[in-house]
Structure 1
C-alpha cells in the first residue's frame, strides 16, 4: 500500500540510490565472509544465484527509495520466485533471510560515508523505509518458502505412502524406492503398534497430542535404525517399516522411551518383497492379540503368540472354541477357577493358594467344570482345549 510522501529532501536519497548498484559485489563478499552458511557455497553459486538476489533486492529498494513508497506484492515477484527455488534446493530459511538482513546491514554501514550533519531528518525517514521494506519482504519470502516446503513435504509423503501401500502387498519395486528418495531395503523389520488414542475433552488437544506422539515414535525408531522409516501411524497406532533386522528388545526400549502407559506392538522380520506380505500380517495379528488379551506392555512376536493368534482368527474353529465355555457364563467362580488353573499350568497347590480355597474345593470345582463343559482341565489335552477356549473368550470380550 503506498504511504504518505516522505518529508525529507531528495539529496541523500539521490546519492544513496546512485550508490546502491555498486554495492552488489561488496555485499556479496561481506555475506560470504560474515554468514557461515554462505561460506559453504561454491564461487559459482555466490556469483550467480546469490549475487542475483542481492542485485534484485538493491534494485527494488533503489526504485522504492526514489518513489518514496513501500513495495506492493507485484514488486516482489522476482524475489519470491527466488525464494521458491531456495526452498526447493533445501537452503535453510535462516540462511535465506540472512541475505536480506545482513545485506541491508552492510549497505547501511556503507552509507555512512554519504551522510553529513544536514541529513539527519532524511536519514531517519530512510531508516523507517528500510525497516518497513524488510518487514514486508521477509514476511512475503517466508510465506512463499513455507508454502513451497509444505508442498514438497506433501509430495514426498504421498510418494512414500504409495511405496508403503505397494510394499505391504509385495509389489514394491526399485523404481518406487528410488522415486521416494530411498535405496531399496532387502532386510525389513515390520512393527505394528496398537495404542489407545489420547483422551481429552477438547478435540484439538487430542489431535495435537496424537501428532506429537506419532512424531516422537518416528524419531525414536529413526534414531534406533539409523535410517528414515515408512509408516502409516494414526492416533491408535499403525504399521512402521524399518530398514534392517532390528531386535524386539531394541524396539521395546525405543518405543518405551516415548510411549507412556499401556501399548502393544507386533514385530516380524522379512527379507524381500514376497516375505514382507506375511510379515506385515504377522506383526498386525500379534499387536491385535496382545492388545485384546490385555497382555503385558511391550513388543510381541509370533513365536510366543502362535496359539493365541491361530485360535482367534475368524472361522469355524474359533466359533467352536467360543462356545466351549458358554456353560460357565453364569458361573463366575468356576470361570475364575479355570482361568487360574490354566495360568498355573495345572499346578494344584499353586492354584488353590491363588484362589484362597482348599485344594479339595479346587478339585470339586474342576469336576463341576468337566460336567458342564465336557473339558477335563486335569488332562493334558483338556488343558490345551481350556486354554484355547479362554483365549478366544477374552479376545471376543
Structure 2
C-alpha cells in the first residue's frame, strides 16, 4: 500500500513537472537558440533570424517530444523523429558540420536539465528529477543517432551526385563536342566558359600498377599542389590510371606554374606529369588534353621526375609526325650511324652529347672524356660525311630534329 502511494506521488510530481516544462517550452526554445548562437561558431554564421525561425522551433519540438515520452502510454517512434531528420538535412545544406550539429544536441540536453533542476516540483520531490535525467540522456542519444544517420545519408547522396556531375563534366570537356552540357556544368562548378585554361595530365607510368602510391593519394597530392597566384584548379578528376586537372590561368602561361608542376612531379615519381598548351575557352579543353597526352610518351622515356610542357616536346612532335622524317634521318643520323658501324667511331654519340650540352665544346668534351679539339674534329667529320655543317644553324637544326626521331617509330 505504501509502495502504491509512493508511486502515485511520484507520478503526480512527474506530471506536474512535465506540465511546468511544457508551459515553458517557448521560453526554453528561445534560451536554446541564444545558447546555440553563443557557444557554437557555425550557428552564428547562419542567416539573420534563421535560428529563431528554424533552430528554436526544432529545439522546442524536441523538448515536447521528450516530455511526451515520459508518459506510460507514449513511445517515441520513427515518425516522431522525422522532424529532427529533416532538420539534420537542412543543417547539412546550410553548411553546418556534423560536429556542430551534435554539439547542439548535447547543449540541448544540458540546458533542459538545468531547467528541470530549477522547477519547483524538483525541490518538493528530488527523486523525480532522476527519472527525468535518465530520460533526457536516453532521448539525446536516440535523437543524435537519428540525425547523424540522416545527415550522413544526405552528405553521401550529395557527394555521389556531385561526383557523378564532375565525371560527366570532365568527359564532356575531354570529348569537346557537347557545348550545351559544357555550358550547363560550367555554371554548377563556377567555371567561366570564356576564360583561358590548360590541362595537366598525371598518368601512372607503365608497369607501375602495383606501386606504392594509390590513385586516391595521387589525387590528394595533385589537389594540394596546383594552386597559387599563377593559376587555380578549376576541375580535377580521375580516369582509370590518370588524374586530369583543368587549370584556369590567372595570368601568363603554364610556364608560370612550372615550379609548382615540377614539385608535383617530384612528389609523384611513379607518375608522369604533362601539361597542354594554354587555350582560350572551355570548348578548347579537349585540344589541351590531347596536347598533354601527346607529351606523355616523352615524359615516360625520361627518368628525371619533372613536368613536361607541350612546348618542351614540340620538336619531338615535329620529328615524329613529319612526312619527311625518313629523308631527314637518311641524310643525317643514318649516314653517321653507318660510318660508326664501319669505322668503330663515336660520331653519333658526339653529336648527341653536343646537342644535349647546348652546343658547348668544353662541356661535351667533359662528358665524353676527350679533349675539346677531339670534339671539334668529330663535328667537322660529321659535316663532311653528311654535307650538313653542325656549326651552322641549319645543319644543327637538322641534326637536332633527326635525333628526336625514335628508331623504332614505324614498327611501333
Q: TM-score range by the shorter chain?
A: 0.7 to 0.9
Structure 2: give runs of 5+ residues left out of the alignment.
1-6
CA distance in structure 2 between the partners assigned to 1:92 and 1:226 by the alignment: 29
Residue 353 of structure 2: aligned partner: 340
CA distance in structure 1 between the partners assigned to 2:89 and 2:254 by the alignment: 43
Residue 226 of structure 2: aligned partner: 221
- Is contact 1:194-1:291 (8 Å) kept? no
Secondary structure in 1 matching 2:226: helix
- Is contact 2:173-2:283 (8 Å) kept? no
CA distance in structure 2 between the partners assigned to 1:227 and 1:54 by the alignment: 42
Length-normalised TM-score, structure 2: 0.73
Find the structure with the greater CA-based Rg. Answer: 2
Residue 123 of structure 1: aligned partner: 129
Label 1:50 to 1:387 Cα distance change in 2 as closer, same or farther (>3 A): same
Residue 91 of structure 1: aligned partner: 96
Residue 33 of structure 1: aligned partner: 34
Residue 3 of structure 1: aligned partner: none
Residue 179 of structure 2: aligned partner: 172
Structure 1: give runs of 5+ residues left out of the alignment.
1-6
- Is contact 1:193-1:265 (8 Å) kept? yes
Label 1:84 to 1:347 Cα distance change in 2 as closer, same or farther (>3 A): closer
Which one of the candidate residues 369, 393, 397 is aligned to 1:384? Answer: 397
Label 1:214 to 1:394 Cα distance change in 2 as closer, same or farther (>3 A): farther
Q: How does 1:1-397 map to 2 (within 5 A)?
A: 9-36=10-37, 37-41=42-46, 45-67=50-72, 73=78, 75-114=80-119, 115-116=122-123, 118-120=125-127, 122-168=128-174, 169=176, 171-173=178-180, 175-177=183-185, 179-182=187-190, 184-194=192-202, 196=204, 206-207=213-214, 210-224=215-229, 229-233=234-238, 236-242=242-248, 244-255=250-261, 260-261=266-267, 262=269, 264-286=273-295, 288-294=297-303, 297-298=306-307, 300-302=309-311, 304-313=312-321, 336-358=349-371, 362=375, 378=390, 380=392, 383-393=396-406
- Is contact 1:163-1:176 (8 Å) kept? no
Label 1:150 to 1:259 Cα distance change in 2 as closer, same or farther (>3 A): farther
Deviation at 1:109, TM superposition (A): 0.6
- Is contact 1:84-1:148 (8 Å) kept? yes
Deviation at 1:112, TM superposition (A): 1.0
Length-normalised TM-score, structure 1: 0.75
Secondary structure in 2 matching 1:56: helix
Residue 4 of structure 2: aligned partner: none
Render the CA deviation track for 1:149-170: whole Å, top value 9, x for unaligned: 2211222232233333333416
- Is contact 2:316-2:404 (8 Å) kept? yes
Label 1:320 to 1:239 Cα distance change in 2 as closer, same or farther (>3 A): farther
Secondary structure in 2 matching 1:189: strand
Residue 3 of structure 2: aligned partner: none
- The number of equivalent residue pairs is 384
- Is contact 2:226-2:261 (8 Å) kept? yes
CA distance in structure 2 between the partners assigned to 1:226 and 1:31 by the alignment: 45
Deviation at 1:43, TM superposition (A): 6.3
Deviation at 1:31, TM superposition (A): 3.2
